[in-house]
A and B are shown apart, each in its own frame.
Chain A
Amino acid sequence: MIRKLNFTGRKKIPKSLISIELVPDGNRQFSFDATFNLAELALPPDAEVYAEAYHHASYMRFSYGKIGKTVIPTERKLRQIEPGAFPLFRVKVVKGGRILASADKIVPRSSADEPKGKLSLLPVEFKDLADLIWNLDLSSERPVLQLNDRIDGIKDIARIDQQFFALVYPDVIRQILRTILIENDYADADSDEDDWQSQWLRFAEGLPGVDKVPSDKYPGVEEDRETWIEEVIMVFCKKWKVREKFLQALQQEPE
């Protein structure tokens, strides 16, 4: 396990103390609602609280007043974030220009339906993908499933359509695990609870009957990792009865 040392003196804000929810405006842009429960961190009451949204080089910052008296900003529309893009957030507590506490790479809930405190491994964003139905964007801070907003009802299709689930999600998982284990040569599931790669490896290891990821470096480890990935996909499909549900959905289709 890689241990990370913090020499900065800055506190880490547990993500369980932060809740951020995106609110779509119907025009491919979002505003957001955020609540913080920072009392237990014993920070100075006059320290300032900021929430920052970012996606690639686009960035917006919102002041939430002070620890002793937080003030929710009235304007929370993410105007400067690329339309349709799924932003991440960071929260900072600052005094005299110094960061006293922070949390970064916060994945907001994309709807009120998502339970609070549950980690969203795969944020979804809607954008014009021309003739593609979906795309896995691996170029951002963490993997994002992009869906083509030219397709009416794509949000519901992705949420409840069993054929979509069967055809898309196993491949999404395969692409993500290959990126982590083969391209990035990263195999540490335990090092950092906030690192998206570790989160995905822990998700895979948590599937029933899946062994620990081959993390050592030895000749042939790449082949072993490829095999492990395929095992994960098989277990995922078995757990979610992918074939059975796919066939059911086919039979329900109108002639």
Chain B
Amino acid sequence: MSVEKVRVFNEKGIELFRQYLHTLGENPKAAPPKQLLNNPNLCAEIGEVVKVEERSFTTRLDAAQYFSRVFSGVDKGNVDQNAGLWSWLSLYYFDHVCPSDAEGNRAPGRDYRHIPDRSYRYRHRHLLAGPYQAFQLYGDRAMILLCTPVQKENAFHHEIAGRQILMSNPAIMETVSSLYLDEKTKKPKFGSQSHGKPGTIRRFVDVMQQLDLTYDLYSMSPEQLLSLLPAEFDGWKGTISPAR
């Protein structure tokens, strides 16, 4: 098993990685430029000696648990918002965050999935840093946000993680799990991520933002939050998986 010292890309390293992502638009079979990973002109070792191994991840939660162990002894200030670090890790695990299809083509999507974006709207969208940050806050209770394959963000993470009043409130997180997580399969209940349907996660976000104007949501228990929800959410309470 290949083990590598973790490094941090400098601006030039990030830029070359970004160029590669854009190259994939024209040549989706282009091989990842792994030679950048240990080029001393493009990256430096993180202060402490930290190593990662070439491995696969079953889910985003699995990846977050792994990076949480890897960085357990490192100053959080050097990890959480470190764009050079997470870009380097994205390239190191590129076969996982941007796997090729049967024809050998890769579709990386927007840059912020691989290179952290500082903006409020996109900072949680990095495919490795986003799960890591959610796991730092909630540990395994972040399951509903992180139950998908590492290259795929679900609607729960997308809708919750970018909103401070939701993401920072443990009772809201617990309410989300209680409504939408199928405890048997450890996956979201069928239909809970749909667009335009009553009681789904997108409606939950709308309703919570409205309630936040009137209620002190931080002082409420999950049971109290559930009791505030309108009738459209009744079908999700205590169900394993609503009728299809």
Contact = CB atoms under 8 A, between A and B. Distances in A.
B20 to A, nearest CB: 21
Interface string A71-94: 000000000001110000000101
A140 to B, nearest CB: 7
A2 interface: no
B224 interface: yes
A110 B167 CA distance: 26
Given A97-B216, A97-B224, A56 B11 contact: no
A16 interface: no
B77 A84 contact: yes
A87 to B, nearest CB: 11
A84 to B, nearest CB: 6
Interface residues of A, number: 28
A8 B80 CA distance: 37
B219 A28 contact: no
B218 A61 contact: yes
B193 to A, nearest CB: 21
A127 B133 CA distance: 18
A129 to B, nearest CB: 11
Contacts, number: 64
B220 interface: yes
Contact of B76 (A54, A61, A82, A137): A82
Given A58-B168, A139-B119, A139-B120, A98 B215 contact: yes
Contacts of A99: 213-216
Nearest to B77: A83
A100 to B, nearest CB: 9
Interface in B102-127: 118-120, 123-124
Contacts of A92: 216
With a 10 A CB-CB cut-off, give which of A50, A59, A94 has the most chain B CB atoms. A59
A25 interface: no
A10 interface: yes
Contact of B213 (A10, A54, A127, A131): A10
B164 interface: yes
Interface of B: 10-11, 75-78, 80-81, 84, 118-120, 123-124, 133, 137, 161, 164, 167-169, 213-216, 218-220, 224
